[in-house]
Structures are given as C-alpha cells and as structure tokens.
Amino acid sequence: MIKAVRGTRDLLPPETALWNFVESAVRDVFRAYNFQEIRTPIFEATELFARGVGEETDIVAKEMYTWEDRGRAESDRGQSLTLRPEATAGIVRAYIEHKMWDRGLNKLYCIGPMFRRERPQKGRYRQFYQVDAEIIGPASAGSDSPARDAELLEMLATLLDRLGIADWTLQLNSVGCPNDRAAFNEALRKALQPAMAKMCADCQRRAVTNPLRVFDCKVPEDQPIIETLPRISQFLDEGCRKHFAAVQEILKAVGVPFVINDRLVRGLDYYTRTAFEFTHGALGAQNAILGGGRYDGLSEALGGPPAPGIGFAIGEDRLVMSLQETAESVLKKPDVYVAPLGAGMNGEAARLARELRRHDLVVDLGDENFRLKKSFETATKAGAKYILIVGENEVKADAFALKNLATGEQISVPRTELARKIVE
Ligand code: AMP
C-alpha cells in the first residue's frame, strides 16, 4: 500500500471545516487593516533562500527540499530549485521584481503550504501551512515606523481573540541593528568561552559560528549558563531603544498585553529591532503559534533597494490544534436531508433541494432507490437536522413531510413555507 510521505498528512473532513473557519477569520480581520492577498510560487530558486533565510540557519543547512531541475532545451537552462520553507523571501523577491515600492506601503498576506525536512512530531510536520503577513515599502512611506509594528501586533491579538483563543502570550524583544548585534555577538563570544566546554554540542558550534543562536537551546543543563549571558537589551543604540519604547507605548495605549523576553532572538544580519512570538499554553513543547519581526535589511540582501519591513508567520496547523475545543460550533451539519421516495421522484426532490439551497440552506440529497429506512439512516449519520420526504402524494398536495430528527416531531409543510420552517 502506498501511504502519505513521512511528515505529510491528509486533512480530512470534518476537520477541514476548522481550517476554513480559521482562513475566513484571517481574511476578515486582515481586510479591516487593509491587507491584500499575494500569491507567490511554492518553489523558487534555491539561491533565494540561501540569501533570504541565511546559509547558517538550520532551515537552509539541513531542512530544505532541493533538487536540480533539468532544462528541456538549450534555451531552458537547468537550475537548483527549492520548495519554499517560509514565505517572506518569496514575497520580498516579488516586491523587488515588480518594483512594488511604486505602490508606497504594501500590506500583504498569503496562506499556503511550506516545506521543511524536520523531525516529525506532534505539531511539527514536513509540509505545514502558514498564514503570512508582511508590511514592506520605502522608508518614506513609513515602513520603518514603530506604529506599523504595533499595528501588526494589535491585528494578531484581534485575530486570536476573534478565533476564541484566550490564553495567548505575546513575547516581545528588540534585536537592535547590525551594529548593536556585532557588539553583542562579541560580548557573547567572550562570555561563552570559559563555559562552552560544559555545553551541548549544538551550543559549542553556535558559540563559534553564530553565538546569538545559543538562546534557542532547549537543553536543561545549559540553561543556568545561558541565564548568566549578556542580553541584547544592554547593547541597543539610542535609535533602537526609542523605536522599541514607542512600540510598547502604542501596545499599552491599545490595551494589548505583552511580556518582554530578552532571550527571544532572530539570528540573521538583516533582522532588526522588533522580534516577537505568540505562545499558547495548551500546545506543549511546540507552543509557538506564530513568530515574526522586522527585517529592515532583507531587500538589500536580495539585491533590492532599501525597504524596511516587518512580518509574521502563523503556524496554521498549530492554530487549528489549539481550536479543537471550540470545534463543535464550527462544524456545519446539513440543515435538511431531502429523501425522494419511490420511482420517478429524483427530479422533484432535486427541484426542491435546489430551491432550498437558494435560501442558503445546507441540503443533502438522497436517491429514489433508497428505501425509507435507509434514507433515515443516511440522514441521521450525516447529522442532518431535518429529513424531508418527497413522495408521489406529497408532490400532488405540494406539501411535504418534514421530520425533526432530534425530536421525532413530523409536520406537513407547504412548498412555499419549507425554507422558513427549516431555518426556525
Ligand atoms: P518560523 O517560520 O520558523 O518562524 O515559524 C513560524 C510558525 O510556523 C511557528 O510558530 C509554528 O507555529 C509554525 N511552524 C514552523 N515549523 C513548523 C513545522 N515543521 N510544522 C508545523 N508548524 C510549523
């Protein structure tokens, strides 16, 4: 038997209704903030991610699905391609390719699958889904303003509240500018030197290549050492300190609670200033529902003009997992099961179903070959609220037997009143 590839999975009904519920809420909420959808390819030149995510990251070093795409003709050269492991690099590429700075400030979002060869576990897949949003544009359009950071964070708080996710925590930090980080990295290297030998193998490597990433370490024995390390907050220049203070000021003004987590870092050179994560208590080890931050230097790293930006990626799989409790209310069952009774009744039943669907009712339609008992069983299994019997007598009278499957109550209802009666 051929099975789904390790780390991938099928999303089946009724759970897919939850995904649709999340995506409609996302589109509704983002609409109110004037975000517009962008769709970029799910594969790109490998080079884009090497430069846009960073060679040293786990994603690029170990987790990408990359292949050599052979050309089909002389004019069609082969090249190395990669399934996107995240969305920001592709969106910034599109920003540059389509000279989107002409539009001023761009507020963009996309929803779709991402691919990383991680070790699969609960809440961690090799194909997973993200809702991604970015604000990017020339500084003259205000793209570097702390007002944009706060707007994005407030939008996320609104979305999570709207989805009924109550116990989220917004963790906030500033990772400063490249200059601040150079000084911080230097201080980290110094502080790590005497302690390094006692730390895990990953940290020993990080201490040399990218000391900031030591803060990602989850090994319990390393934590006391990490607690004593210097923090980026001690190294922020005045501009970055002011920017961070302004973000916090606005969040307080709009009433979005947050905690400062000065261990929260993003390791790449072009990540700047605001970094954040929303976590959720019920998710266990993989408790980050979403993460994001500023990347004021990314466009330049990809060969574009200066274009400050800030964005986030929500893990849709985890968001849906944290929604399971509210699932019942979201799942839409049929309002009515229309059961044709006897030969020649399929047409009449279809006509009725068509009328009812025009009234926005969810209608399941049976088959005249089903005996009444089988129609009842099918309707009950589908979770329909009513069953509507369409037999010869009913058609003649233009009134139909409507039975409430929960209470067992049955009444005869004229055609013109059916929709109203069912909605009641
Ligand atoms: P990142 O792009 O790594 O900052 O991740 C953003 C969000 O995507 C995380 O907070 C997770 O919710 C989600 N995510 C990342 N990797 C995976 C994965 N392998 N499986 C499921 N969700 C993921």
Tens digits of residue pLDDT in 107-165: 999 999 999 999 999 889 999 999 999 999 999 999 999 999 999 999 999 999 999 88
Asked if residue 53 has its Cβ within 6 Å of ligand 1, the reply is: no
Asked if residue 49 has its Cβ within 6 Å of ligand 1, the reply is: no
pLDDT value, residue 267: 64
Task: Give the pLDDT band of residue 73 (cuts 50, 70, 90).
Answer: confident
For ligand 1, atom 14: residue with the closest CA: 315
pLDDT value, residue 56: 77
Is there a contact between 175 and 184 (Cβ–Cβ < 8 Å)?
Answer: no
Q: Is the pLDDT of residue 325 over 90?
A: no
Which residue out of 11, 114, 173, 287 has the highest number of ligand 1 atoms within 8 Å of its CB and is therefore the one to mutate?
A: 114
Paired tokens of 142? 């205000």
Distance CA 409, CA 179 (A): 75
Distance CA 271, CA 144 (A): 13
Map tokens 């930090």 to a residue. Answer: 173
What's the mean pLDDT when you consider all of the chain?
93
Is there a contact between 234 and 262 (Cβ–Cβ < 8 Å)?
Answer: no
Q: Is the pLDDT of residue 327 over 80?
A: no
Map tokens 């786990």 to a residue. Answer: 58
Asked if residue 125 has its Cβ within 6 Å of ligand 1, the reply is: yes
The count of other CB atoms within 10 Å of the CB of residue 64 is: 20
pLDDT value, residue 412: 97
pLDDT value, residue 282: 63
Asked if residue 117 has its Cβ within 6 Å of ligand 1, the reply is: no
Asked if residue 230 has its Cβ within 6 Å of ligand 1, the reply is: no
Asked if residue 315 has its Cβ within 6 Å of ligand 1, the reply is: yes
Kindly state the average pLDDT of the residues 171-190: 93
Higher pLDDT, 335 or 206: 335
Paired tokens of 401? 């037997």
Separation of CA 367 and ligand 1 centre (Å): 45
Helix (H) or strand (E) holding 103: none
Paired tokens of 150? 């706060």
For ligand 1, atom 10: residue with the closest CA: 290
pLDDT value, residue 116: 97
pLDDT per residue as tens digits for the range 372-410: 999 999 999 999 999 999 999 999 999 999 999 999 999
Asked if residue 210 has its Cβ within 6 Å of ligand 1, the reply is: no
Which residues have C-beta within 8 Å of that of residue 68, sequence separation ≥ 6?
A: 78, 79, 80, 81
Kindly state the average pLDDT of the residues 250-254: 98
For ligand 1, atom 4: residue with the closest CA: 291
Helix (H) or strand (E) holding 354: helix 346-358
Helix and strand numbers (H, E) in the chain are 16, 16
Paired tokens of 3? 């099975």
pLDDT value, residue 328: 67
The residues pairing with 294 across neighbouring beta strands, listed in sequence order, are 272, 310
CA distances from 338 to 97, 286, 409 (A): 53, 45, 16
Collapsed DSSP state (helix, strand, coil) of residue 333: coil
Label the pairing between strands 386-390 and 272-280: unpaired
Separation of CA 314 and ligand 1 centre (Å): 7
Asked if residue 394 has its Cβ within 6 Å of ligand 1, the reply is: no
Asked if residue 130 has its Cβ within 6 Å of ligand 1, the reply is: yes
Task: Give the pLDDT band of residue 74 (cuts 50, 70, 90).
Answer: confident
Asked if residue 128 has its Cβ within 6 Å of ligand 1, the reply is: yes
Phi first, then psi: give them for residue 370, nearest 5 degrees: -75, 135
Q: Which atom of ligand 1 is the closest one to the Cα of 288?
A: 10
Distance CA 231, CA 372 (A): 72
Q: Which atom of ligand 1 is the closest one to the Cα of 86?
A: 2
Higher pLDDT, 74 or 143: 143
pLDDT value, residue 285: 58
Is there a contact between 71 and 53 (Cβ–Cβ < 8 Å)?
Answer: no
Kindly state the average pLDDT of the residues 268-291: 83
pLDDT value, residue 76: 79
Is there a contact between 401 and 394 (Cβ–Cβ < 8 Å)?
Answer: yes
Burial class (CB in 10 A: 0-12, 13-18, 19+), 360: exposed
Tell me which residue of 307, 358, 243, 269 sits closest to 105, measured CA to CA: 307
Tell me which residue of 378, 307, 403, 372 sits closest to 100, measured CA to CA: 307
Separation of CA 315 and ligand 1 centre (Å): 5
Kindly state the average pLDDT of the residues 245-256: 98
Phi first, then psi: give them for residue 377, nearest 5 degrees: -60, -45
Longest Cα–Cα distance of the chain, Å, equals 93
Separation of CA 62 and ligand 1 centre (Å): 15
pLDDT per residue as tens digits for the range 213-250: 898 888 899 999 999 999 999 999 999 999 999 999 99
- Angle CA 273–298–312, to nearest 5: 60
Collapsed DSSP state (helix, strand, coil) of residue 14: coil
Task: Give the pLDDT band of residue 284 (cuts 50, 70, 90).
Answer: low
Q: The pTM is what?
A: 0.91
